[in-house]
């Protein structure tokens, strides 16, 4: 296994500069929510993304069944996870 190295301040700045600015109002709203409901917005966003992919794949592959479309979505999400490292 490769050894991890410490990032330089310049590297950290380059990473942070590429991030979207913090939405303090959104953070405040999430902090006020009960812990069990804090994941709800991200789950809804995830469902919306999958629905959009499903619609797109249905148009692109009109002769596939819903199960086959869902497998294509799963394959796509796995490939994106491997490419961008979002786990």
Task: Indicate whether 12 pLDDT > 60.
Answer: yes
Give the C-alpha separation, 7 to 35, whole Å.
32
Which is higher by pLDDT, 16 or 51?
A: 51
pLDDT at position 84? 79
Q: Render 1-69 in DSSP notation, one character per residue.
A: -PPP-PPPHHHHHHHHHTSPPP-HHHHHHHHHS-GGGTTHHHHHHHHHHHHHHHHHHHHH-TTS-HHHH
The model's pLDDT over 23-67, given as tens digits with 9 standing for 90+, comes to 899 889 888 989 888 888 889 999 999 999 999 999 999 999 999
**Segment 56-62 long-range contacts (CB within 8 Å, at least 24 positions apart):** none
22 vs 73, higher pLDDT: 73
Does 18 have pLDDT greater than 80? Answer: no
């Amino acid at each position: 296994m490769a050894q991890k190295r410490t990032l330089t301040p310049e590297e950290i700045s380059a990473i942070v500069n590429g991030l979207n600015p913090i939405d303090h109002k959104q953070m405040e709203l999430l902090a006020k929510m009960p812990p069990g409901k804090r994941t709800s917005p991200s789950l809804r966003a995830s469902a919306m993304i999958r629905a959009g992919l499903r619609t797109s794949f249905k148009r692109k592959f009109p002769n596939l069944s819903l199960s086959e479309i869902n497998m294509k979505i799963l394959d796509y999400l796995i490939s994106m996870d491997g490419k961008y490292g979002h786990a």
